[in-house]
């Protein structure tokens, strides 16, 4: 019998889910006492590790003071103000402001809306086109569904948001051609600097720099979707720092709280701010009930403090080197076809006719959580507190499973 819970991204008929009950560091436990190394940081987000009492205490303290309150006009709260200030200070866009949401999808939708709205406020309502990339993942609300470049995720949901188009992921010429055709009707180009859920594809050399130039040339905003790459995954606070390209809008979620509370948001850079702030009578009509939720913001402040105190950005670089060299040795041994990734997020790409879902399940049985992505890959994005021994165990478990096939 199926349970009352209709699961996201799952077959509605599945009945045998694994019930997780507890987590500690990079390990989670199920209700039968089995333990798993969480080589995916849950869903790319648990940077500081599971089961942390310092996170629980910060959340409990805020929940017992002012758990939640709207930040719609005329209200604000201290954790939201303090977090916005901290984010602007560590963020890559000078003079930006922060719009808060509760998820990556809400952040993507908001960035798309703000891009179009800023052009309207600047006197250019004709600028509506949003260009994104094939293989991109931008969430599952209608905006993100319309912008994402993974075809099966778009099918069956009726008409999507209008004037949103995808181009091939690594093809700067295709992007340049479409931008030249649509010129002054472009609102924004929306990309993940490193494509994550589409299969972990880092940008080709110079791609993001060329994109920045094209956007400037055509008066388009550049939106980075940093829902996975933000908060240390690539060894810098944001991928924008790592790849040295500054966007106009930048989404975040996931590792901003390491998942201890649902929180997301958008960095709104000066080019977008200026038209929104130009008319003192203009009223911004978008936002979410939980935008600037004080308990979620308190969790983010503690999470960022931990990332800094425990030097987890540097740890990401170390984890990435150890993990990628382990995976590369499996490629050298012919167990996998190739390896791709950057920082502390990697994919093992399999030989043809290998089933990543079956490999995922066999690894689960041996106590390691990976994700099966697309037709070819298993992905790895461990918490930034993962030990060297745990990294080695992740690689060894993959090797064990592949050797037995």
Distance CA 173, CA 167 (A): 10
Q: Which DSSP string corresponds to 262-273?
A: --EEEEE-HHHH
> Which position among 172, 208, 227, 300 is part of the footprint of ligand PLP (CB under 6 A)?
227
80 binds ligand PLP, rule: CB under 6 A = no
> Which position among 25, 79, 139, 149 is part of the footprint of ligand PLP (CB under 6 A)?
139
Give strand pairing partners of 131: 165, 189
Segment lying near ligand PLP (by CB under 6 A), choices 81-89, 102-110, 171-179, 215-223: 102-110
196 binds ligand PLP, rule: CB under 6 A = yes
Closest approach of ligand PLP to the CB of residue 295, in Å: 17
Contact 91, 249 (CB under 8 A): no
239 binds ligand PLP, rule: CB under 6 A = no
Segment lying near ligand PLP (by CB under 6 A), choices 151-159, 180-188, 192-200, 315-323: 192-200
> Which position among 38, 109, 225, 376 is part of the footprint of ligand PLP (CB under 6 A)?
225
Token output for 40: 């995916």
> Which position among 25, 93, 166, 192 is part of the footprint of ligand PLP (CB under 6 A)?
192
Distance CA 298, CA 305 (A): 11
> Which position among 137, 221, 238, 267 is part of the footprint of ligand PLP (CB under 6 A)?
137
Phi and psi, residue 35, nearest 5° = -115, 150
CA atoms within 13 A on the CB side of 383: 31
Distance CA 390, CA 166 (A): 39
Distance CA 353, CA 394 (A): 22
100 binds ligand PLP, rule: CB under 6 A = no
Segment lying near ligand PLP (by CB under 6 A), choices 87-95, 220-228, 315-323, 353-361: 220-228
342 binds ligand PLP, rule: CB under 6 A = no
138 binds ligand PLP, rule: CB under 6 A = yes
Of the candidates 178, 175, 167, 188, which has an alpha carbon nearest to the alpha carbon of residue 124? 188
Q: Residues in the chain, how many?
A: 405
**Sites of contact with ligand PLP (CB under 6 A):** 103-105, 108, 137-139, 144, 192, 196-197, 225, 227-228, 253
């Amino acid at each position: 019998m199926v349970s009352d819970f209709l699961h996201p991204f799952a077959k509605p008929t599945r009945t045998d889910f694994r019930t997780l009950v507890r987590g500690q560091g990079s390990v989670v436990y199920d209700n039968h006492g089995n333990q798993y190394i969480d080589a995916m940081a849950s869903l790319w987000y648990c940077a500081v590790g599971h089961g942390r009492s310092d996170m629980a205490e910060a959340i409990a303290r805020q929940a017992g003071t002012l758990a939640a309150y709207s930040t719609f006009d005329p209200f604000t709260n201290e954790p939201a103000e303090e977090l916005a200030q901290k984010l602007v200070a560590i963020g890559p866009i000078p003079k930006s402001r922060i719009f808060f949401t509760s998820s990556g999808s809400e952040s993507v939708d908001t960035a798309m809306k703000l891009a179009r709205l800023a052009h309207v406020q600047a006197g250019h309502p004709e600028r509506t086109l949003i260009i994104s990339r094939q293989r991109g993942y931008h969430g599952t609300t209608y905006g993100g569904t319309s912008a994402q470049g993974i075809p099966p995720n778009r099918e069956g949901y009726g008409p999507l948001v209008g004037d949103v188009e995808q181009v091939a992921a690594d093809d700067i010429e295709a992007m340049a051609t479409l931008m030249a055709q649509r010129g002054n009707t472009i609102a924004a180009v929306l990309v993940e600097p490193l494509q994550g859920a589409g299969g972990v594809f880092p940008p080709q050399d110079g791609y993001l720099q060329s994109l920045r130039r094209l956007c400037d040339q055509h008066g388009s905003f550049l939106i980075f979707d940093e829902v996975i790459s933000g908060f240390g995954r690539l060894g810098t606070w944001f991928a924008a720092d790592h790849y040295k390209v500054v966007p106009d809008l930048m989404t975040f979620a996931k590792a901003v709280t390491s998942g201890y509370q649902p929180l997301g948001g958008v960095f709104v850079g000066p080019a977008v701010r200026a038209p929104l702030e130009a008319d003192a009578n203009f009223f911004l009509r978008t936002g979410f009930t939980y935008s600037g939720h004080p308990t979620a913001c308190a969790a983010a402040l503690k999470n960022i403090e931990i990332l800094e105190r425990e030097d987890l950005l540097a740890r990401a670089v170390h984890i990435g080197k150890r993990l990628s060299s382990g995976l590369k040795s499996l490629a050298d041994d012919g167990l996998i076809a190739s390896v791709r990734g950057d920082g502390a997020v990697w994919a093992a790409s399999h030989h043809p006719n290998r089933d990543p879902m079956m490999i995922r399940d066999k690894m689960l049985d041996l106590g390691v959580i990976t994700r099966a992505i697309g037709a070819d890959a298993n992905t790895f994005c461990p918490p930034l507190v993962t030990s060297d021994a745990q990294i080695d165990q992740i690689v060894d478990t993959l090797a064990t499973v592949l050797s037995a096939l």
